[in-house]
Structures are given as C-alpha cells and as structure tokens.
Structure 1
Amino acid sequence: MDFLNLPVEGASWSDDEPDVNPNGMGVFIPNLEIIEMDDNQGENPVSIDILPDDIHERILSGLPLTAIFKASCVCKRWNQIVHSKKFTLKDASFLSDKTWYFMFASSVEPVGYLYDSGLRKWYNFELPFMVHHTWNIAPSRGLVCFMDDETSKALYICNPITREYELLRVPPSMGFPVYSALAFSVDQSKSKYTISIVRSMQASDDFLLWNVSIHVYNSKEKTWLSPVTGAMQGWRPGDVSVICNNVLYILVFCTRRNDIQNFHGLISYNLDNIEASIGILKDESVITAPCALTCGRLMNVQGKLVLVGGIGRPNRPGLIKGIGIWVLDGRQWTEITRMPHKFVQGFGELDDVFASSGGGDLIYIQSYGGTALLIYDMNTRQWFWSQKCSMHKKFPLEIFSGFCFEPWLQFM
C-alpha cells in the first residue's frame, strides 16, 4: 500500500470573485496588499501568536473553506492547526449538511470545477491524479473511492479537499469481467472504510447464466477478504452498487424477455454476515424496480437507500421520458418525486444515461451531454438548478460526469 500526503499548496482554488461568507464571518480577497506603517506613526503592533490555539481555531473556523486553505499557508502554526485531528470545524460557519459536487470532462487532465452548494459558487479545481469518465467512482462522507479496473488495476481512496490519498491494488479476477460495480462506505466513529467490488462475467454461451464474485476490503485489517462467488440465472449485475447501513445493494438487469418490460431489479447482501457462497440467485430474492427504467443510480442519502432512475417511454421503453427518485422501505419502493417537465426540458435532449450522486440532503443529477446541474433537496422537497458552470464542450461528443462529497479536512 502506498500512502501519499500531498501538500495543500498544490490544490487549485480559484474564482473570479472574493470569497465572501454570506454571514459576514470571513472574507478573503485575493492579492490583498499589505501596507507597512512606520513604527512612529502608531502603537507597536501586538502579535496574535500570544493567543492560545483555541482562539486561533475560532478565527480559522469563521472563514470559508477555500480561505481556510489559503490561510494555512500563512504560517506554520495555522498550517498545523488546520491539518490537526482536533480541528474538526464543528462550529465552522460554512459547514452544513450540504455536499459539494465535482464536475469533470473526458479530457486528459485531472481538472474540473467544484461546486460549493452552500455558497452556490463554482471553483476551478484539480484532483491529485488523472480520473477518466469510464472509472468507477463511489463517494462516502468526505472521501471518494476511484477504481480503474481496466488499465492500471488500481484503487484510489482520496480526500479531494486535502488531496491526500491511498493507493491500493485491485484484487485479481478469475477471467475478464464484463461488468464491475464499486461500492464504498466510511465509518467515522470507527475510523475505517469498507470497499466492495462486484464482478460478473458470462458463464458460457448461455446469456442467461452469469458468474458473480464479491470482493470486500476492510481498512482496519488492510486486506481483501476471500471473495464470495456464485451464479445468477436470468439476472446479471451491472456497474451500479452501494453500501447502506453495512448492507451491499446491487442493481441487476433481467436477461430474460418478459411481458412487463421491467428489466431492472435489486439484490442485497449483509456484509456483517455474508456467506461463503452466494449460490444461485432466485427470482424471489430480487426486488423489482418501481417501474420500467432505462437506467438507475443507487446512493446512500440520509442513511436511506435511494434510487434515481430514468423512466422509459410507454411505447419505446428504451428511451427516457423523465427521471424519478424512490426510497427503499423494506422490500417496497416509495416514490419521492419525479422531475418536473420544465427541468427535463432544461437538459435539452436528455440522454438515456446520466450522472447522479447524493449525500447529506442533496441529490445531484447531470446529463452526460452537458454541464447543467440539477439539484433536489430531500428536506425541502424542492428542485433547483445550480449556478451556471463555466465549463464548456471542447468537441461535440465530449462527455461530462461528476460526483458529490462532504467537505472534510481530515483523511480519516
């Protein structure tokens, strides 16, 4: 395992306006000119170094997050405070349940735009490594797990804010998986995280039978557990899974033709009591989707399993007509909302696939074909657009994607 702790000075935070906290708690003006006064013109200045650390912490916690990182470059003492375990920012004026969203394009550089949903501002931002839109990405709390299961066979556990990350090797696979699904969960109270990789490949020429393996990594033991294996008859996993309350949920697709045309379903495995073999999947263990979907995204929002799905047209179920949000209650789906038509129109020609990520009380939805970012607040039950992002297409078929996470200042 390699552990990389990159300096905060390498992060790229920039915008065209001063960072201003709406509550007036902190202001950072770039390139602020400091004018030195003649000693004879006033009283001798008193250094703030005489103040105790808790006063410094209060001063720093009153700043917007971007200003905190800039302030950490002022002196060694502030740098140590900002990156200390004690500096949790519980009373920081900018903190809320709002997650932030990072948007990036299918380019060759690890750059993109970071959206602060509290201040409703976009920042130019750069990740510490290159991320491709074909990678599996799974956020949890303030950390994000990235998986390249095709080229480098690597996993990155990263705090995008501090740019710290761990590099892990992807566990070996028996054969070449057709589909790989990544899930990631952080347990703050125990200072650990769990990674799950679900791999599936066709068992034979019979398209109905698929071999499945589940690989689980525990950060406390720093090892991959022995994979559990089994087969699925008539169903296959795709590239969508999530861990919620230590239960692994996998979105599966029906490989049999049926009259209902409801091809999506959900299966679950308790990670505390997962058996040595998952056996043959039975139809009765599948939770069918709430309606005919073109695609689905799973996420953990407020400790609940949320499904964001594209709703198919009645006459042409493969084409999307809208997007819905559901919450799983036992084995039943409860519909929360459907995207109003005016917002569907706002995406232009909405693709049948889209990026969606949720956390805290917000769910983000972004079409792969553009930079428009729509947000749904689970508490207020309201839809609204983010501020317009200044990222533009460099070529007609460029793909955009993104993910959300909570702003943290600690790695674990």
Structure 2
Amino acid sequence: MSTIDKYTREFSVIVIILTFIICFMLYYQCKPNVYEVKLGDEHIAYVKDKSDFENILTKIKKDMNQKFESFKLKDDFSLKKIKVKKEILENENEDEIKKAICQNSSIKVEAVMIKSDGKELGIVANKDEGIQTLTVIRNYYANKNNLNNIIDSKVKNSIDFIKVNSYISRVKTPDEIGEYIITNNIFKDKKPLVSFEIKGYKKEEVKIIPTTIIKWSKDLSDGSVKVLSDGKEGVKVVDEEITLENDIIVSKKPISEKVLETSIQRVVLKGNKIGVNKSKNSKSVSTYSLALLRPCRGSISSPFGRRWGRIHKGIDIAANKGTPIKAAYDGTISYAGWIEGYGKVVKINHGNGLETLYAHCSAIKVKKGQNVKKGELIGNVGSTGHSTGPHVHFEVRINGIAQNPVSYIKNSA
C-alpha cells in the first residue's frame, strides 16, 4: 500500500468519526425533551412526561369535585414531544399549569354568583367561598385600622348567593373578588359595592401633648412671646372600642388607658395687657386673669381637662334649652354655623390671639363679621351635634391653644 493510500484511509476514518460526533451532538441538541400540552391550537403548558400531565388532571378533578356540586372534564388535550430551552421548563410549576388549564378550558361548573343589592360582584365555587369573600373584605378594613379584636360586624347591603352554570375560567377565588370589591369601594362619588359596619378593640401607644400655661408680663411688649419651658410629651397606652364603616372611623369609645410617661407642662410668657386684670401681688412677671363673662346661667356639668381618655377642651354648662348665650367679651364673630360634632357653633375673635367658642346651640343670633359687645345675646342653649342633653360647650383659646375657661371667667352671668 502506498503512502498516499495510507494517508487517504486514515483521513477518511477521521472524517467518519468527526461526522458521527457532529451528528450525535446535533441529535442531542435537537432531541425533544418535553411534552407541549395544547387545547386545540392554544398552548397550555410544558410537562416532562405524559404521566406528569395525567397526575395534574387527576388533582384538578379531585379539587373540582370538592368545590363544585356539578363538574365534568370533557376537553381533549393533545401532547406533542418537542425541544425547549432548559430554563423554560424550569419556570413551569404544577400550580401554574393547573391555572392555565382552568383558564383555557371549556369546562362548565355549577358555581355561585355573589350579588350586592342586585349588582353582580363575581363568581366563586360555592356559598362557603362567597362568605369567605366577605370575610376577606371585613378583615382588610379591620387590619387597616389596627383592630386587635373584632367583636361584631355586619354587611349593610343585601347580599345574595345565586347558583349559576359558568365556565370555570370565570370562577375566581375569594381573595381575587375581595381585592376587586375593596378597589372599587374607594370611589367617593359612588355607593360602596359592599359596606361593612365593624366593631372591635384597638390598643395603641399615643403621645400626651403637654398643656400650655400662659403667663403675662408687663415688661414684654404687646404680642411678644417668650418660652420659659418647652415642656415634654408623655406617652400612654389607650384601649378604645372602634366602630368602622369600611375604612372610615364612625365612633370611638375609650375603654381604658395607662400612662407610661407623664407629660411636662409648657410655660409661655406673653406681653399682652389687653383684656386682663393685674393680680394683687404684682412683680416683673405676674399671672393675670382675663375678665370674661360666664356665657350663660347653669352648673358646670363637665369640666376642662381629661375626659374619656382625651382632653376636653372647654367646659359644659348645663341649662334649659333656649337659655340665652351671651358674648364673654367684646369682639367680632369669626364663625357662625355648623361644625361636625359641635353642632351649631359661634366663634368670637377678641383680638390679640384670644378666641372664644360656644357650641351645641339650638339657635344662632349673630352673623359672621358682626361686632358684638360683652354680654350681648349671640345664641340659645341647645343639644345639636354630639350632645347628650341641652348645654353650652364653652372654650377659651389663646393663640389657638385651649385654656381652662374657669381661670378667666367671672361668676356673674
């Protein structure tokens, strides 16, 4: 054998071996590694083996039979072996495949339509899941307002659970319908789809805002202010009974409170002699009392200060309905109208940061912008707003800070 023939034979062997290797590699790269599941022309999922898909179908049938009174799986699925990238297969999981099958299937089931005041909210598997949907909504609003314990709740709408035949793709979970309802409950110009009244307890730490003591000095110019002590906020734990309408707090009822850290009063020195009477023992810095008139005859039924877990910013003077209410000092009517909780209200601006407020009136006898004199009729005692009986709620504010009116009024009416 010639040398040329020898080299030719060796080269041929090498070519054959390389061709075999290349063909093997191409076959390996193109070798089908999964089954594509299709329903008609619609891609559903990828599975490794036919048995995996059969197991998923078995689980779907079991789940559906537990949830629905009537259920039949009639769809014809096709499986074809193909090649896909490894990462695509890794993204497939059993729950996603179940969901894809149900969303694309023509399966019909006997389910339950939830209606609120006749409006369709969605379809769930059964009545129990309909009730669970309402629980999802209730718990959302309770948790949003930090209710520690729900003691009572009720739906203010007429809720109906109606059996319907539906494609399984239209059936939603309680969480899905609950989220839809909550999202569409927020539009202020529309009636809520579902309106809950929820009563429960709330415990939270709150700051105790220090009260402010105003001292008057003849040595400071009018309107000037000097802070003698900044004071210090306190901390307390408050237990309240809260009533909600969805996420709006309708009422609060204090149950108990525990002071963890006591507040320290803030002391402010003001240079303002208008409307004050100097005390007998005068010094460079002295405390003065405003010469205000008691707004009406009657006994003080609720004093200034802490009441029901919060600060009562004025005093309540109990009197018969219709009893005249008089201006405590000369000034200008800054407000005459309705304030939520306070009912019919009159506010008088006396200048230099002094303002008085008269609430729960049965009638208002003055108008905004009107000048009044001390002792002039401004309204009549009533029980408007949040009130348990006829009285006038009287506040004294200096630079917006509520003061104890008893420290500033005379005994005469």
TM bin (shorter chain): under 0.3
Q: Structure 2-normalised TM-score?
A: 0.23
Q: Structure 1-normalised TM-score?
A: 0.23
Q: Which protein is richer in helix relative to its size?
A: 2
Q: Which has the larger radius of gyration?
A: 2
- Higher relative contact order at CA 8 Å, sep ≥6: structure 1 or structure 2? 1
